[in-house]
Amino acid sequence: MGGVIAALATPSSLHDGELTLLPLDSGIPALLVAASYDDEITRWTQVPQGMTLLDAGLVVAGWAGNERVVRLQVCLPELSPAGLVTVWINARDKAEVGYWLLEAARGHGVARRALAMLCDWTFASSDIDELELTTLPGNTASEKVAAACGFDDAGFIELDVKGERRSLRLWLRARDEEKRSAAGQRASVGT
């Protein structure tokens, strides 16, 4: 499956009511700086602490032209951008998704809706058959989002997190319609 995501072109936008996923723009470095000062984001994700605008600009510049990654900003009418969702081909040549939201957007179902949109778009726009998601032990909020979006707990995997080997919980979501229907039913009950 290596390189499958290279065939994906970043969508112009994806919508779910007032929630919109948009391609990255010039405001993304400021979003990364805000994320780097959010203790929950830096605790559970690869975002480093205390980035400057220059640091963030260099990170975003390094993202340009990587055809194995699609990053979209999560936008709400009252907070734009509110976070990022990403799908990429990881070091093991598997399609993986990730997400994070600023504090003001958390706890309102935004992560679940954004991740569901990203997963549905990925399956509809590619021949990817399975998506991976990883969470650090103790990140129950992300585990709930993963389960609500149709990901199944597949045990643990050892991976590098910020230069340190860590045990992460691996979540898998298959393309099949039954799983997608079940995820939609779980999502509609208000997780």
Fold of 4-188: Aminopeptidase (3.40.630)
- Asked whether the beta carbons of 134 and 173 are under 8 A apart, the reply is no
* pLDDT of 161 higher than 90: no
Domain ranges of the chain: 4-188
Tokens describing residue 63: 């993202």
pLDDT tens-place string over residues 66-115: 888 999 999 999 888 999 999 998 888 899 999 999 999 999 999 999 99
pLDDT (tens digit, 9 = 90+) per residue, 125-156? 888 999 999 999 999 999 999 999 999 999 99
Distance CA 161, CA 56 (A): 19
